[in-house]
Chain A
Amino acid sequence: MIRFYRALLRLYPAGFRHEYGGELCAIFEERLQHSPPAAAMTAAVADVVPNAIAVHWDILRQDLRYTARTLRRAPGFALAAILIVALGVGANTAAFSLADFVLLRPLPFPDADRLVQLWNARDDVQNEASPALFRDWKTMATSSFRGMGAFQPAAANLVGHGAPLRLPVARVTPELMPLIGVPARMGSLITPANSANGATAVLSHDLWVAQFGGDRGVVGQTVRLDGKAHTIIGVMPRGYHFPNRDIQMWTSMVLTGPDYQDRSDTYIQVVGRLAPGVAYERARAELATVAARIKKQHPEDDPDDGIRLHALRDSVGRRSRLLVLALCGASLCILLLACANLASLLLARGVSRARELSIRTALGAGRERIVRQWITESVTLAGIGGTLGVLLAWGGLPLLARLVPTALPVEEVPSLDWRMLGLAAAMIVVTGLLFGVVPALRSADDRRRRVRNALVVVEITGCVVLLISSGLLMQAILRIQALEPGFRAEGVTALRTALPLPKYETVAARERFYGRVLEDVRALPGVAGAAYTTGLPMARTGGIWGVETPGMNPREHNNGASLRYVTPGYFATLGIPLLRGRDVADGDTAQRPYVTVISESLAKRTWPGQDPLGRKFKIALAERTVVGVVGDVRVRGFEQTSEPQVYLPSGQVQDNSITGYLPQELVIRSTLPPEQWLPAVRRIIAAADPEQPVSDVRAVAEIVANQTASRRVQLRVLAILSAIALLIAGVGVHGLLSFAVLQRTKELGIRRALGAQAGGIMAMVLRDGLRLFAAGAALGVVAALLAGRGMTALLFGVPPTDPRTIAVAVAVCLATALMGCIRPALRAARVDPMVALREN
């Protein structure tokens, strides 16, 4: 009975319990003698619980008041601690929210973890599937999958609703939208039932609002897409993106007999939903047997091809993943630094606190009571700092939007969710508790100093790691930016006029349009060149065809070339050097022999050491004669290997074939800024065809700059984090040494009295600082090498051991450490022996 009561008393703070526990027990015992035990017990619980809460609350109020008072007396300390926590918590909340958003959070679809993407894959290349392959997969792999659907990202001209508009659309097979499982906001999804007769379309929420004014009567209306009538059957909810956030509309893609003819015409992407309870491994095993069966049935298929499967969630590229993870690593580094610094600050304070502790214990305060007050203080500091940090993260997240890959079907700006707020709260509480307790640990001055030394070493280590990593990534960007794209982007503007079919299905109709537009554009003042092309380098990266020369094995994989149709003047406009022979010409029409201009690397690969002019090869369903050689262009961008290029004259596109390659990008080189002549160009296009939309106006230089955009954002963030780290480490070194000097005032005074020179004493303090720096730098370099190995894929060939980067990083850190040393060293040198000795 009394034992129970004693346990109950544990609810009180220890001080109160020690003070009054005995008497409380005595009273309880007396009560027990006069009343039935059950009643005494109930009364005891009813008494202890509210009173214990009240006592705790009293103490908390007192401590908060006391905290406010002490922090007001030490505003520098309070500000430093709050800022450090804010930076640590802010950086981590932002980085982890981004990582969670990009890598972890389930996609916004029902049972999203069951959705997988299937690829027609070989070694490290994964390709789209042909309709025939899709049909085979769907009908053969039935035990692991509840269903499969396919889509093709495309673009279409929408005419008849405001100005003609070029829209990114996804053509989807009727199975796809029900498979993903998000219901329509209005109307219906594209389903097998409603797409059997006539083309249908579903609008995105944004398009519905922007182009149709949010009209509720839109369902059932007919729109013309590329001249073909589509019935709008539904509108998707806001925030629905598939397969990526660019797509504005979904149109039905009904595959029929002719679509299944060419097994190697791979252009659709396949999404599957795993049957309930089926593990990825089982699905992969089934797909392997399916691939084997297909190979047997179709020996003409590429024998190296297999089927690859991954979660739809994992469509994030390796590079995007690494970019995000590197940021997380850097933020953790900052948190570590912040914690080390906070501990160091509080340790230093702990020493002055030691006196406070002894005075207050002498005055009768319990030790536990004082520690509790300190914890209240540090948790308060952490709480203020952490709240500030979460606000920082919240404000900073939109800046990180560039790091959210467009390929993901999620919103652009990562959001903070309650899980991340929970994480932030946990960080705050842990930091607060830890650093309230650390200074209270009863430890000798010597040990305390060792701990602080270790903390400064940790700070320098973190600093060096961050600086080296940022330096390596900066080198990588510089390397990338130093690469020659193969064309001169400055002064070139591109705009798209995608000619709709069947209106422009004949080459004659198209050539009339191009001719009229180009002639008028070239006549504009300031225009130095204008031409049409299938696609811009670095923007259109695909379009690879096999080059077949007589006697070569077309199965060889390294015969691919990037194909484009161009009008005369394209090379001059983009500044691609013509090395041999001639440009395509107006005379290269369908009636004339088929010709081609190839890039230098194709000439070297196909006819090494020989003259390529006049040679013939087959590409894009016809044999062509080489009439010119131009410089190579990085069509796939800086970070991927590009195939050699093949250019064909726009006049020689066969009618009704390879329509995906029709020239659609108008490139214009001008000495004047685009806003001066763009309206004129729009008028020229409208005069040539009033129904023709103009879209995707952009500076070609911007396309080139975009190549490094996500890297630049990441580097900027890393640079900020490095600067913070430097600051924290500098403050840490300074704090530690100042404190050490203060503690050794007497010793320094004696040394001076015994004849030590001021210079010698300064050197001694500096030596102390530099020893710590050396230890931290050595550890930092090792850790940076490990980190560098982890992000090799981001380094673009810059070795993690790059001596220049390491040297610069260490030097910058050293400078900071020295700056932290100077003031304490000067103070040590200025110690007056008389004053120092008298003080004690």
Chain B
Amino acid sequence: MMSTSLPAATFHILVSLADGERHGYAIIQDVEARTDGELRLSPGTLYRSIQRMLEQGLIVESNRRPARALDDQRRRYYRITPSGISAARAEIRRLMELIRLARERGLSPEPA
């Protein structure tokens, strides 16, 4: 069975938090770096997604703060939750399934 797709921003945020906690601006920078500048999340889109993901329980706000010298009081840090991980996994499975289906029909990214 195929699950419904996650919005791209949501998926990227989950991926970005997969290896550790990050604050909002760091997520933007991370996504930008990972996609070679292909995807630049705007702050509005980011926090709208974060708000929705918090409500859905995909991420939580983290209480741990970095060393005082590096900290900016305004910053909030987010951590991925188990259900966030399973949502990301489901999305990965969905994408792989899509690719498998396409390949079975002889369709690949480059012309044969």
> Given that A24-B43, A27-B43, A28-B43 are contacting pairs, would A51 and B48 also be in contact in the complex, using a CB cutoff of 8 Å?
yes
B25 touches A47 (CB 8 A): no
Chain B CB within 8 A of A22 CB: yes
Q: How far is the CA of A22 from the CA of B43 in the complex (A)?
A: 12
Q: Which residues of B contact A22 (CB under 8 A)?
A: 74
A54 vs B45: C-alpha distance when bound (angstroms): 9
* Binary per-residue interface labels of chain A (36-55) against chain B in the complex, 1 for a CB within 8 Å, 0 otherwise: 00000001001110111011
Nearest chain A residue, comparing its CB with the CB of B25 = A27
Q: Verify B74–A26 contact, CB threshold 8 A.
A: yes
Determine the distance from Cα of A19 to Cα of B48 in the docked complex, in whole angstroms: 11
- Across the two chains, which residue of chain B brings its CB closest to A30? B25
Q: Is the CB of A51 within 8 A of B51?
A: no
Instruction: List, in ascending order, chain A residues with CB within 8 A of B24's CB.
Output: 20, 23, 27
Q: Would you call B43 and A16 a contact (CB within 8 A)?
A: no
Say whether B44 contacts A25, CB under 8 Å: no
**Cβ–Cβ contact B28 & A54, under 8 A:** no
User: Would A47 and B51 be within 8 Å (CB), given that A22-B74, A25-B74, A26-B74 are in contact?
Assistant: no
- In Å, the complex CA distance between A52 and B45 comes to 9
Residues of A near B74 (CB, < 8 A) are 22-23, 25-26
Cα distance, A96 to B75, chains bound together (Å): 57
Closest to B44 in A: A51
B48 neighbours in A (Cβ, 8 Å)? 16, 51, 54-55, 58
B28 near A27: Cβ-Cβ < 8 Å: yes
Main secondary structure of the interface of A (DSSP, over half): helix
Closest Cβ neighbor of A20 among chain B residues: B47
Does the CB pair B50–A20 fall under 8 Å? yes
**Residues of chain B with a CB closer than 8 A to A27's CB:** 24-25, 28, 43
Closest approach, in angstroms, between the C-beta of A605 and any C-beta of chain B? 90
Whole-angstrom CA separation of A58 from B51 in the bound complex: 11
Interface size class, chain B: 10 to 19
Nearest chain A CB to B21 CB, angstrom units: 15
The 8 A CB mask of A235-260 against B (1 = contact, 0 = none) is 00000000000000000000000000
Shortest Cβ distance from A11 into B: residue: B44
**What separation, in Å, do the CA atoms of A25 and B51 have in the docked complex?**
17
Per-residue interface assignment for chain B, residues 37 to 51, with 1 indicating a CB less than 8 Å from any chain A CB and 0 otherwise: 000001111011011
Chain B hits for A48, CB < 8 A: 44
Q: Is B100 an interface residue (CB 8 A)?
A: no
- Contacts A23-B25, A26-B25, A26-B72 given: A47-B50 contact, CB under 8 Å? no
Known contacts A30-B25, A58-B52: A23-B47 contact under CB 8 Å: yes
- The residues in B between 69 and 103 inclusive whose CB is less than 8 angstroms from any CB of A are 72, 74-76
With a cutoff of 8 Å between Cβ atoms, the chain B residues found around residue A52 in the complex are: 44
Q: Does A16 contact B47, Cβ atoms closer than 8 Å?
A: yes
Question: Measured between C-beta atoms, what is the minimum distance from A767 to chain B in Å?
Answer: 51
Question: Inside 8 A of A25's CB, which chain B residues have their CB?
Answer: 74
Q: How far, in Å, is B77 (CB) from chain A's closest CB?
A: 11
- Residues of A within 8 Å of B50, CB to CB, are 20
Chain A nearest CB: distance from B36 CB in Å?
18
Give min CB distance, A751 to chain B, whole Å: 48
Q: Which residues of B contact A50 (CB under 8 A)?
A: 44
Q: Answer whether A47 and B44 are a contact pair too, CB < 8 Å, given A23-B74, A23-B75.
A: yes
Chain A 315-354, CB within 8 Å of chain B: the 1/0 string? 0000000000000000000000000000000000000000
Output the nearest chain A residue to B74 by Cβ-Cβ distance. A22
- Chain B residues whose CB sits within 8 angstroms of the CB of A23 once the complex forms: 23-25, 43, 47, 74-76
Q: A24 to chain B: which residues have CB within 8 Å?
A: 43-44, 47
Residues of B48-69 contacting chain A, CB below 8 A = 48, 50-52
Q: Mark A57-83, 1 if CB is under 8 A from B, else 0.
A: 010000000000000000000000000
Given A26-B72, A27-B25, A27-B28, the answer on whether A19 and B51 have CB atoms closer than 8 Å is: yes
Minimum Cβ distance to chain A for residue B70 (Å): 14
Alpha-carbon distance between A50 and B44 when the two chains are bound, in angstroms: 9
Interface flags, B15-31, vs A, CB<8A=1, else 0? 00000000111001000
Contacts of B42 in A (CB 8 A): 43, 46-47, 51
**How distant is the Cα of A27 from the Cα of B42 in the complex, in angstroms?**
10
A16 touches B51 (CB 8 A): yes
In the complex, the chain B residue whose C-beta lies closest to that of A50 is B44
Knowing A20-B47, A47-B43, A52-B44 are in contact, say whether A26-B75 is a contact too (CB < 8 A).
yes
A24 to B, closest residue via Cβ: B43
CA distance A25 to B73 in the complex (A): 13
B45 touching A47 by the CB < 8 A rule?
yes
User: Least Cβ distance of B17 to chain A in Å?
Assistant: 16
**A contact residues around B44 at 8 Å (CB):** 24, 47-48, 50-52
Output the nearest chain B residue to A48 by Cβ-Cβ distance: B44
**Apart from A20-B47, A23-B25, what 6 extra A-B contacts exist at CB < 8 Å?**
A16-B48, A27-B28, A47-B45, A50-B44, A51-B42, A52-B44
Query: Can you pick out 27 interface pairs between chain A and chain B where the beta carbons lie within 8 Å of each other?
Result: A16-B47, A16-B48, A16-B51, A20-B24, A20-B50, A20-B51, A22-B74, A23-B43, A23-B74, A23-B75, A24-B43, A24-B44, A25-B74, A26-B72, A26-B74, A26-B75, A27-B24, A27-B43, A30-B25, A43-B42, A46-B42, A47-B42, A47-B45, A51-B44, A52-B44, A58-B48, A58-B52
Chain B contact residues, CB within 8 Å of chain A: 23-25, 28, 42-45, 47-48, 50-52, 72, 74-76
Chain A residues at the B interface, C-beta cutoff of 8 Å: 16, 19-20, 22-28, 30, 43, 46-48, 50-52, 54-55, 58
Q: Which 7 A-B pairs have the closest CB atoms?
A: A51-B44, A22-B74, A47-B42, A20-B47, A47-B44, A27-B43, A23-B24
